[in-house]
Structure 1
Amino acid sequence: MIIHTLGPQETDSNDAAQYYIQHNALSKAQIVLSASYTDIINALPQYQNDFLLIPTAFKSVALNLTWGELHYQYLDQLELKDCFIHRLNPLVMIEHCQRKSGIAYSHPATAKLLAAKVHPQQMYYSASKYLAYQQYLHDGQYTLTNEKNIVLSSEEKIIARYEPQMIWSLYQIKGL
């Protein structure tokens, strides 16, 4: 069994894939991490009979697609096989108090949550919350990311912290 999901290893998607494998005693399963779900979706014909693990909070700016739209648009290529609940790593909203750039970095699925709290002048979307934090380190004033990925400096503060549950969907890729 090969499970395609979002990488790098620091992502909630990788954690959920690891959880699924352990919880279902799938010792021979392999996780393949991609830079974005867009990359996986665009390569579905190459992954026939493999699996796709994706959160129901999925949202792609590049594909202009949410999880619900993906579910229906790809009925011919994806067959829903399983769903499960697995908690995300705690999320934190961070402000770099010395930067007044007005720039925020976020995964598209969490961007509205971030924007509702901080009202950034510019929002840049990242393929993962981990990548959003990496980009924020360069010039961002705000980000929403996983708590486990951060190292706070004296110039930063946590604005909010969340511990959400997530529903994960496992699809078998039918190909074409």
Structure 2
Amino acid sequence: MNSVIIHTLGPQETDSNDAAHYYLDRNTSIKAQIILHNSYEEIINTFPKYRNEFFLVPTAFKSAKFNMSWGELHYRYLSQLILKDCFLHSLNPLVVLENCGQKNGIAYSHPATAQLLITHVQPSQIRYCPSKYLAYQQYLQDGQYSLTNERNISLSSNEKILARYESQMIWSLYQIKG
């Protein structure tokens, strides 16, 4: 791997982008372009277009749209992906937020973090977003609850942090066969 393209979840505020930069910082012999996408599903849907390029995904991957976890992704696309590397990299601290001025029971979360969210709140509705960053952006519009990265937030006087977590994550780097 001398010069490669790595596809992962964007925008720049995501843990996926951080993990891609972390990987490249630790593997200085690899020159890479990181391409950020709106969702993992967008990347998966276009595997044939990215032949011989790379796909970076956390092992906590979960898709509500495809009803698939990382393990299911790994086996379902076994003929299209070659696992090239794995590494450990921390997530930005996670927080469960409540907007005390909102009483609609709507919660925003990435599908992978929804179970953690509901250990603290019982929303009437969970709306899934492609990233924790976008979950926070939607929460700001009309949400009562959200699980997002701590660095994404700017607390108002109506908001409170219900829980905070620090977590390690295993990241998988695949080469796309197409």
Quickly name the TM-score band, shorter chain normalised: over 0.9
Could you say what secondary structure the match of 1:8 adopts? coil
Once the two structures are superposed, what CA deviation does each residue of 1:18-76 show, in whole Å capped at 9, x if it has no partner? Answer: 00011100452110000000000000000000000000000001111100000000010
Could you say what secondary structure the match of 1:166 adopts? strand
Q: 2:127 aligns with which of 101, 124, 128?
A: 124
Structure 1, unmatched stretches of 5+, are none
Could you say what secondary structure the match of 2:31 adopts? coil
Q: 1:21 aligns with which of 15, 20, 24?
A: 24
1:140 alignment counterpart: 143
Q: Give the fraction of aligned pairs with identical amino acids, expressed as a percent.
A: 70
Q: Distance in 2 between matches of 1:100 and 1:62?
A: 27
**TM-align CA RMSD:** 0.7
Could you say what secondary structure the match of 2:120 adopts? helix
- Residue pairs, 1:3-152, within 5 angstroms: 3-26=6-29, 28-152=31-155
Once the two structures are superposed, what CA deviation does each residue of 1:69-114 show, in whole Å capped at 9, x if it has no partner? Answer: 0000001000000000000000010000111010000000000110
Q: Distance in 1 between matches of 2:172 and 2:112?
A: 16
Q: Distance in 2 between matches of 1:164 and 1:76?
A: 31
**Where has structure 1 moved over 2 Å in runs of 4 or more?**
none
Structure 2, unmatched stretches of 5+, are none
1:153 alignment counterpart: 156
Could you say what secondary structure the match of 1:81 adopts? strand
- Aligned AA for 2:95? V
Structure 2 residue 153 is matched with structure 1 residue 164:
no
- Aligned AA for 2:34? I
Number of paired residues?
Answer: 175
Could you say what secondary structure the match of 2:86 adopts? strand
